[in-house]
Amino acid sequence: MAVSDDAREDPGAVRCELTLPCDAQFRALRECVVERLAASLGCAGAEAAARAVALATSGLVDHPAGSVYSRVTMTFTAGGGVLTIRVRYPIDPAAAETAPGPGVESILSEGGSDAPLAVMRRLASGVEFGRVDGVECCTLVARLPAAT
């Protein structure tokens, strides 16, 4: 886990990054680390942020098409009154050749109102999907309390 206070977006931001294998056995570790990091960075809804990230990772790990993803990298940036959590999903090249998969957003959308994505949207202030340097990612935003 790398921690720095020199985030490119905001020189005063605090940035922390954690990479774990895309494996169900790391579910408890992901949830614990996310909740503690969110709380230590001042996120009033640390439990909600942890639950949203757990859904963004476990919802993928538990899906049969999730096997194309080798690991998840979670980057936490606190600055400008928000906690931004970017989850990156690099594809395992060997697995992608045999089963390219439907994509992260599609996987997390399965299940209607109980789908991981639907719950994530209720828990986080903002949820966006995209690609950064060719890697699928999900960005979650939580408001931080105003400094007093």
Question: How do residues 22-60 score in pLDDT, each as one tens digit?
Answer: 777 888 888 888 888 877 877 777 677 777 877 777 766
- Look at the chain and report how many structural domains it folds into: 1
Mean pLDDT (whole number) for 107-127: 84
* Residue 98, domain extent: 2-143
Q: Does 148 map to a domain?
A: no
Give this prediction's pTM.
0.77
Percentage of the residues of the chain whose pLDDT score is greater than 90: 2
Q: Which tokens belong to 128?
A: 């966006």
Please report the pLDDT score of residue 4 as a whole number: 36
Spatial neighbors of 70 by CB under 8 A, at least 6 apart, are 21, 22, 90, 91, 92, 95
In a domain, 86, yes or no: yes
Output the domain CATH number for residue 43: 3.30.565.10
